[in-house]
A and B are shown apart, each in its own frame.
Chain A
């Protein structure tokens, strides 16, 4: 309605159309900041009035509050992210919110500068977190699935301590060379092809590619139990290429 009503509002925003706020991924928000956006705004239908049966706006609210805690954790002012509700008829409200948010962001200053952070440092921190998105989604799956009764309850839904723990406990998955039977199950199941190996070749996880989903741990036959979840400790270096071949005969002896 802001458009057809010719309501004037601030020119700073660049709009991207999504079908539902529920479609806004954590990675979109982080990418915005990583590109140097000083603020990210998500606008959607009022809670309870989602166009879809899924109540996407409640999910968006959960995502935003999680994201705000993450931002806090890496030193970005969480007020740079805002979600607000406006139905199609609320042009005046939309214009007002855009103006309010823009002046808030201006008050905070340019991203990084306002936080007293070096731009490179900020960027690399965002990139680090972005890499952890799959892990965050898995670790917080149940919470992200739930829908709270009251909007207010979302603000305390995720806590700073929780995010600290989340990042402290980032796991790594490691295949113990002496246990791996090179059966290929984990290799085939890995969603990101992070496991290298082959027939009679001990499998090794490429830690750069790994998204920490834990599928390999689940897939490795219990009788082998070769995949280990490591938390808070460095991952042992991968076994050298030349030592990966399994000599079946020698083992049988």
Chain B
């Protein structure tokens, strides 16, 4: 059967694991492929399964659930170019989609991680990517919107290709490069600067397929060289995102509306809300969005569902009760070792019985056993029983990475009445069987070594207690713009007190200067309504003209001091949201500040809103994009300016259709559905002229026919000549720059700023609203420039994350923190100066200065340990002793013995 996970390029069996990273990693029967389910034949699998785990007569069941809220996350479908036969996809063997290629470059893909092409199973040396396939097209069968993610995923594919084989020539045929996301601009530069990579701005058409080589030729045109035809070994079509399959059926079932593109029609100010109350969405059903935006919307949905369901929060949760912990302090280490086969994942490579036998010979090991799946409930139960029966006090699991299952096995220890820190895992899957699958002997030896190291470490483990902290149920929101207010309202709506502090005299933030959105939202109405809701909410306490003077504490228990219009206030809170927004760059370019006809987009918008007639009656207006960013000093894209330009151009055209409007741009970045407005502007005769950063427009104030004009000269790349435009007004896309207060706030709350001065989230893709500092969350432009809806999306995301914390009475902090042996401490301060968390303090006692650790602030990185000259400070659970025991066992004893013998022989 063709394997749909591998884009049908390779085949798979009817019984298979969906894909190698699937969780849980369990086989299933594909009803589309199973002979028994289709034709009633076969049934062999049922008879060979020793555990009787297969029931071919299982029937689908209907289950009725009563719920208070529904969250839809149906995802998206990649655009299928086969339908129209775009770019000879489906005809020429060596034309693949980006989704096909994504599988091809993957180690678990159809060619086992080798980049091969279908026609001859050989490595392609020249690969072309064609951008915007199925996107930014108004022809039938195409999609008018921009799919928003393809530019960056293509760059990623180029880099991965280069990692596979740096000799491959990569060519990307593109329209605008839309690197609008956080750090995307740098990523683009990395791809573009790699040797052998060409980015060519050109529309293309597929030429012919060479009948012998099966190479594919592409015709394209550049301004320098005119029309060219070039041959490639492989062509990748960067396909866009389309609505999920059966979106219409989905809409019918749930009674929700779709937009004109077939994605979900969302509330214009809340991209998580559908047209039907109580039904929310997350992910790409909102429209084409990338991973961080998807994750943000998922956290946001949590907040919105919470607003409906908060009154019964925790009702379905069950509290675990563990037996009393046995005191093992007087016992010798009694180690139990369990070696997991992980089905065939470990067992087919590593000789598990031999590893198990070896384990039982190791010092302090009193029990060793192999298991088929140590993480399965029945085997966990077995582990618990054996710990109790054999009186074990240490557990070593030789299985997979501790990242996923450490909590599960710690739980097994607790169930057996043993301290959970008496667990050590030897990773013989990710570090062994999976990466040495063709070398079973070496892999078995490595498994034994890793296990021996783990057993050695286990002997030194100590019981640790986790720190339980009470959670103050109050939240602090820093920043009273749209993001901050939205978060504050959602949290307050779920019964928590919220302190909302704003440095300006009024709430509203940057939105106070925005009059309308591209989609037609009246921003002023919206903001005023929001401000009113905030002030009317009994649980929200607003402090304006506010400034933080001090911040101390930790997750669940922060104390922040604020001076404001109400004087000095000490706020105790359990969580904080950073929503400090951003500022507009004050240009030094293009006569800004010297000539009152030169203004920024925000100023232009204010003038349009005022109905300034000299402006609206102007003959010519020029806009220049990327002023103050995408340059060396600010190496990022301000993300919002392209659509701001379009928005203002359309507004001016509405008032005065005869006005000549020029937009001088580098790449128009109207990603997603905003593309439609770009097209509309173009149709309304707004003129777009692209300029290169090396040859920016020039502006001078001159007199023309007796009236003062701004003469803007720019090279028109299509005409290939300098163009002079006499403008009455010049508007500048001034960059969005980080808030000037970011640095101070980052220091108060021990947060990190990225290279551009915006706050750095815990993980750019997977934890986009969290900080690595617990209890503090992030939203809005403090994170990165973004549109109002995106800010709101993230504001709900931050609220969702905050509520998860505040809904608990206690929060547990790891016991693996540092402690100081006072006797050994010489008070040198090397530890405290290394600890930027401020977890170590030097205190003067009778015996001199001594370091003292605040365990709640300690994050367990252990840097201080390596600074300490006397080994006085020690990270619990990762002590020098534990590491050295592993290092000592890393080299097989036999060899060490031989070494020693030889050494003796020498003497």
A and B found bound together? yes
Contact assessment for B160 and A16 in the assembled complex, using a CB-CB cutoff below 8 Å: no
The answer to whether the Cβ of B268 comes within 8 Å of any Cβ in the partner chain is: no
Q: List A residues 1-54 near B (Cβ within 8 Å).
A: 2-9, 11, 14-20, 22-28, 31-32, 35-37, 48, 51-54
A19-B860 contact given A53-B772, A141-B828, CB 8 Å threshold: yes
A16 partner, pick from B113, B442, B453, B863, beta carbons under 8 A: B453
> Closest residue to B892 on the A side, CB-wise?
A14
**Is the pair A35, B878 in contact by a Cβ cutoff of 8 Å?**
no
Closest partner residue, chain A, to B445 (CB atom): A11
* Partner pick for A22 among B401, B453, B863, B868, CB 8 A cutoff: B863
Q: B511 within 8 Å of A by Cβ?
A: no
Instruction: Mark A112-151 against chain B: 1 for CB-CB distance below 8 A, else 0.
Output: 0000001110000000000001110110010011000000
Is A145 in contact with B869, judged by CB distance below 8 angstroms? no
Contacting residues, chain B, for A93 (C-beta < 8 A): 163
B903 touches A119 (CB 8 A): yes
Chain B, 588-602, contact with A by CB distance < 8 Å: what is the 0/1 string?
000000000000000
Q: A15-B427, A36-B896 are in contact. Are A22 and B861 (CB under 8 A)?
A: yes
A137 to B830 Cα, complex, angstroms: 9
Give chain A nearest CB distance to B524 CB in angstroms: 39
- The answer, yes or no, to whether B20 is at the interface (CB within 8 Å) is yes
A176 CA to B427 CA in the complex, in Å? 55
A93–B163 CA distance with the chains assembled, in angstroms: 7
B1-26: which residues lie under 8 A (CB-CB) from chain A? 20-21
- Given A6-B435, A37-B890, A91-B107, are A19 and B450 also a contact pair (CB < 8 Å)? no
- B 427-457 binary contact with A (CB < 8 Å = 1; else 0): 1011100111111001101100110010000
Chain B nearest CB, measured from A218 CB (Å):
8
B217 at the interface (CB under 8 A from A): no
| Residues A31 and B887 in contact, CB atoms below 8 Å apart | yes
Give every chain A residue within 8 A of B772 (Cβ-Cβ). Answer: 51-53
Asked if residues B435 and A133 are in contact (CB atoms below 8 Å), the reply is no
Q: Does A106 contact B (CB under 8 A)?
A: no
The answer to whether the Cβ of B193 comes within 8 Å of any Cβ in the partner chain is no
> A32 CA to B453 CA in the complex, in Å?
13
Closest to B105 in A: A92
| B826, A23: Cβ atoms closer than 8 Å | no
Q: Are A6 and B20 in contact (CB under 8 A)?
A: yes
Q: Report whether B906 and A118 are in contact in the complex, using a CB–CB cutoff of 8 Å.
A: yes
Residue of B nearest to A193 (CB): B823
Asked whether A144 lies within 8 Å of B453 as measured between CB atoms, the reply is: no
User: How many angstroms from the CA of A55 to the CA of B891 in the assembled complex?
Assistant: 31
Contacting residues, chain A, for B902 (C-beta < 8 A): 119
Q: How far is the CA of A88 from the CA of B891 in the complex (A)?
A: 26
User: Which residue among B164, B449, B866 has the maximum number of chain A CB atoms within 10 Å of its CB?
Assistant: B866
Contacts of B872 in A (CB 8 A): 191
Whether A54 contacts B835 in the complex (CB less than 8 A), given A11-B442, A23-B861, comes out as yes
| Interface assignment of A188: CB less than 8 Å from any CB of chain B | yes
Say whether A78 faces chain B, with CB atoms less than 8 Å apart: no
- The answer to whether A23 touches B866 (Cβ under 8 A) is yes
Is B118 in the interface zone, CB < 8 Å from A? no
Q: Is the CB of A31 within 8 A of B888?
A: yes
B538 at the interface (CB under 8 A from A): no
| Chain B residues within an 8 Å CB radius of A95 | 435
Residue of B nearest to A51 (CB): B772
Binary per-residue interface labels of chain A (170-190) against chain B in the complex, 1 for a CB within 8 Å, 0 otherwise: 000000000000000000110
- Determine the chain B residues whose CB is within 8 A of the CB of A200 once the complex forms: none
Q: Is the pair A18, B859 in contact by a Cβ cutoff of 8 Å? A: no
Flag B52-93 by CB within 8 Å of A: 1 or 0 each: 000000000000000000000000000000000000000000
Contact partners of A2 in chain B: CB under 8 A: 430, 435
CB distance B890 to A16 under 8 Å? yes
Q: Nearest residue in B to A60 (C-beta to C-beta)? A: B866
Instruction: Across the interface, name the chain A residue whose C-beta is closest to B899.
Output: A36
A6 near B113: Cβ-Cβ < 8 Å: yes
A215 at the interface (CB under 8 A from B): yes
B848 pairs with A219, CB closer than 8 A: yes
Would you call A48 and B446 a contact (CB within 8 A)? no
Among B823, B824, B834, point to the contact of A59 (Cβ < 8 A): B834
Closest-by-CB residue of B relative to A62 is B866
A191 and B826 contacting across the interface, CB-CB below 8 Å:
yes
Give the nearest-CB partner of B833 in chain A. A145
Given contacts A14-B449, A95-B435, contact A53 B773 (CB under 8 A): yes
Using Cβ atoms and an 8 Å threshold, which residues of chain B touch A24? 866
Q: Are A35 and B826 in contact (CB under 8 A)?
A: no
- Cβ contact within 8 Å between A134 and B865: no
A25 partner, pick from B446, B865, B891, beta carbons under 8 A: B865
Chain B residues in 8 Å Cβ range of A23: 861-863, 865-866, 875, 878
Q: Which residues of B contact A31 (CB under 8 A)?
A: 884, 887-888
Contact A15–B869 (Cβ < 8 Å): no
In the complex, the answer to whether B887 meets A11 with C-beta atoms within 8 Å is no
Interface presence of A211 (CB below 8 A): yes
Does A226 have its Cβ within 8 Å of any Cβ on chain B?
no
B446 touches A14 (CB 8 A): yes
B472 at the interface (CB under 8 A from A): no
Identify the interface centre among B434, B888, B907: most chain A CB within 10 Å of its CB.
B434
Q: Are A27 and B884 interface neighbours, CB within 8 A? A: yes
Known: A8-B438, A15-B450. A52 touches B859 (CB 8 A): yes
CA distance A199 to B400 in the complex (A): 58
CA A18 to CA B867, docked complex, whole Å? 16
Beta-carbon nearest neighbor of B436 in chain A: A11
How does the 8 Å CB contact mask read for B133-152 relative to A, with 1 for contact and 0 for none?
A: 00000000000000000000
> Which residues on A sit within 8 Å (CB–CB) of B438?
8
CB-based contact A27/B906 at 8 Å: no
Q: How far is the CA of A4 from the CA of B109 in the complex (A)?
A: 12
Q: In the complex, how many angstroms separate the beta carbon of A194 from the nearest chain B beta carbon?
A: 11
Contact (Cβ within 8 A) B888 A6: no
A19 touches B862 (CB 8 A): yes
**Which B residues are in CB contact (< 8 Å) with A15?**
427, 431, 450
A residues in contact with B907, CB < 8 Å: 120
B437 partner, pick from A8, A16, A17, A133, beta carbons under 8 A: A8
Any B CB within 8 A of the CB of A63: yes
B434 touches A18 (CB 8 A): no
B740 to A: closest C-beta gap in Å: 21
Chain A residue nearest in CB terms to B860: A19
Report the Cα distance A167→B887, complex, angstroms.
Answer: 26
Residue of B nearest to A133 (CB): B869
Asked whether A27 lies within 8 Å of B880 as measured between CB atoms, the reply is yes
Known: A5-B107, A16-B890, A28-B887. A54 touches B113 (CB 8 A): no
Tell me, in angstroms, the Cα distance from A214 to B880 when the chains sit together.
Answer: 23
Name the one of B833, B884, B899 contacting A28, with C-beta atoms under 8 angstroms.
B884
* B847 / chain A contacts, CB cutoff of 8 Å: 188-189
**Most B CB within 10 A of own CB, among A25, A51, A59:** A25
Residues of B with C-beta under 8 A to A144 = 830, 867
* B617 interface residue (CB < 8 Å to A): no
Report whether A56 and B867 are in contact in the complex, using a CB–CB cutoff of 8 Å.
no
- Residue from the list A3, A37, A55 in contact with B401, Cβ < 8 A: A3
- A26: chain B residues within 8 A (beta carbon): 866
Q: Which residues of B contact A213 (CB under 8 A)?
A: 826, 828, 869-870
Question: A19 near B861 (CB under 8 angstroms)?
Answer: yes
Check A74 for interface membership: any CB of B closer than 8 A: no
Given contacts A36-B891, A189-B847, contact A3 B431 (CB under 8 A): yes
State whether the Cβ of B31 lies closer than 8 Å to any Cβ in chain A: no
A2 to B907, CA, bound (A): 44
Extra contacts, 6 of them, besides A6-B113, A19-B862 (Cβ < 8 A), are A4-B430, A6-B108, A15-B427, A31-B888, A32-B890, A36-B891
Query: What are 11 A-to-B residue pairs whose CB atoms are below 8 Å?
Result: A5-B113, A6-B20, A20-B861, A20-B862, A23-B862, A28-B880, A53-B751, A141-B828, A144-B867, A145-B830, A192-B870
Give chain A's interface residues, CB within 8 Å of chain B.
2-9, 11, 14-20, 22-28, 31-32, 35-37, 48, 51-56, 59, 63, 91-93, 95-96, 118-120, 133-135, 137-138, 141, 144-145, 188-189, 191-192, 211, 213, 215, 219
Q: Which 4 A-B pairs have the closest CB atoms?
A: A3-B430, A23-B862, A5-B107, A22-B863
